[in-house]
Amino acid sequence: MSNDAAFAVDAAVSAHPNHPSVDQSDRKVPINLRQTGPTPVELLISTRIRKSPYWHLSMAAGCWRAEVYNRVYHPRGYVKPDDGGAMVEYDALVNHVTMWNVAVERQIQVKGPDAAAFVNFVITRDATKIPVMRARYVILCNEAGGILNDPVLLRVAEDEYWFSLSDSDLQLWLQGVNVGKRFDVRIAEIDVAPVQIQGPKSLDVMVDLFGPELADLPSYGLMEATVAGHPVIISQTGFTGEKGYEIYLRDATLHAEDMWNAVLEAGKAHNLQVIAPAHHRRVAAGILSWGQDMDNETLPFQVNLGYQVPRTKEADYIGKAALERARQQIEAGNPPFQLVMAGLRLGGRPIDEYAPDFWLIRETLDGEPVGFLTSPWWSPELETNIALGYVPVRLSAIDTKLLVSLPDRFAEIPGVPVDATVVEVPFRPSLNPNQRELLKKRGLDAAL
């Protein structure tokens, strides 16, 4: 390498450095905090990654960008920036009704006489208490207590559960657990692909599709039905905090077009729009995204998921010993981690696009970075930028004042950090509150 080339490489590295001053000494693999900014590339479509049954339908609906989620191509934008981009999609969600291609939520079926016992061994909550035809948000942890996945768990029969996965492939892990345990169950992915119907008019669309009995479906309730003559399971769940549903199509590779077109037809009267998963709305609801807000080195107590680790579950489960030990350390004032998730309201111009980097948090203007944002977005209702991010435990109290370094596009003054304040999460009440919100309303401790 020539001296000039070596200098160019050194300059590039110094312009986009990692920041070891953000204390990550409790992790084996630090979060990559390299600030590279947008680096547009063309997504290669090949046979190494799966196309979902709805992929071509998303293309026909105008999808212009995508990423990979659970080794499946995942639509992430329909309205182009010149036409208003993601905030136009947000408007459709909060004012009308939207359909999302979320077939990337791969469905792992656990079925057999020991299904309840097996599921109870791999999740932190008590699986035996989930009624048939009900769903729950759950987490699965490794032996160190790190979060492996945070799926919606559907109990569709006495002896059958479906894990509707977030972005980490759990099938091989579940099968591996059972190699040693030998529960009498079959563990396999099934040909079921969901779409989400989200927004204030979602009930109207769903009643038109499935009849008035749909209106009685409770939060996290399940219902069997047919659409375009094909069997589905419906859940009142979603990734927004808005009123919403998911339609799980059986034999999806065969019937995707029939169901998709039936929903579009029913949605015409209600201004239905096909959009990408609304991360701007899920941030406002305090809903986490695995891989972005947490990973397998994150303890539930770091990210406001302590309520998923009940003190009352007597049965053993993977990670129980580590999680109980961590809880004791926290209660003794000696948490086994450096950083915790916090909600932040922050200044700057409206963040109307996905962040390409984990933007850095500082305690003082001339200080080194002490934390980082994971999920920042503009909230039209609150008229401010909001974000989920990691801060040191000592800086996590409500009303703590901090600073955030934003790219020039969003900064008030280029190169100058904007003010930020630690606030309560969720940032605004949800129309369809999650379990943590319900516990908080009842005055129970959702953190531990």
* Spatial separation of the C-alpha atoms in residues 405 and 158, rounded to whole Å: 51
Question: What confidence score (pLDDT) does residue 442 get?
Answer: 54
Mean pLDDT by 10 residues, the chain (448 residues): 41 54 90 91 95 98 97 97 95 96 98 98 97 98 98 98 96 97 98 97 98 96 98 95 94 98 98 95 95 98 97 97 98 97 98 96 94 97 96 98 97 96 90 60 47
Domain boundaries, the chain: 192-270, 284-441
Place of tokens 């219902």: 223
- The reply to whether domains 192-270 and 284-441 share a CATH topology is yes
Query: Do 201 and 112 meet the contact criterion of CB atoms below 8 Å apart?
Result: no
Q: Which amino acid, one-letter code, is at 135?
A: A
Return the H-helix or E-strand segment holding 117: helix 115-122
The token pair at 246 is: 């998911």
**Strands 244-250 and 192-198: what pairing?**
antiparallel
Question: What confidence score (pLDDT) does residue 429 get?
Answer: 74
* Spatial separation of the C-alpha atoms in residues 351 and 105, rounded to whole Å: 27
The token pair at 282 is: 């899920």
Question: What confidence score (pLDDT) does residue 100 get?
Answer: 98
* Spatial separation of the C-alpha atoms in residues 137 and 33, rounded to whole Å: 29
Its sign, for the CA torsion 393, 302, 69, 103, is negative
Query: Do 339 and 422 meet the contact criterion of CB atoms below 8 Å apart?
Result: no
| SS3 call for 235 | strand
For domain 192-270, say whether CATH 3.30.1360.120 is its number.
yes
Among left, alpha and beta (phi > 0; psi -120 to 50; other), residue 153 is beta
**Fold that domain 284-441 belongs to in CATH:** Gyrase A; domain 2 (3.30.1360)
Place of tokens 């990670």: 319
Q: Which amino acid, one-letter code, is at 438?
A: L
Question: What confidence score (pLDDT) does residue 428 get?
Answer: 81
CA-CA-CA-CA torsion for 261, 220, 431, 304, nearest 10 degrees?
-120
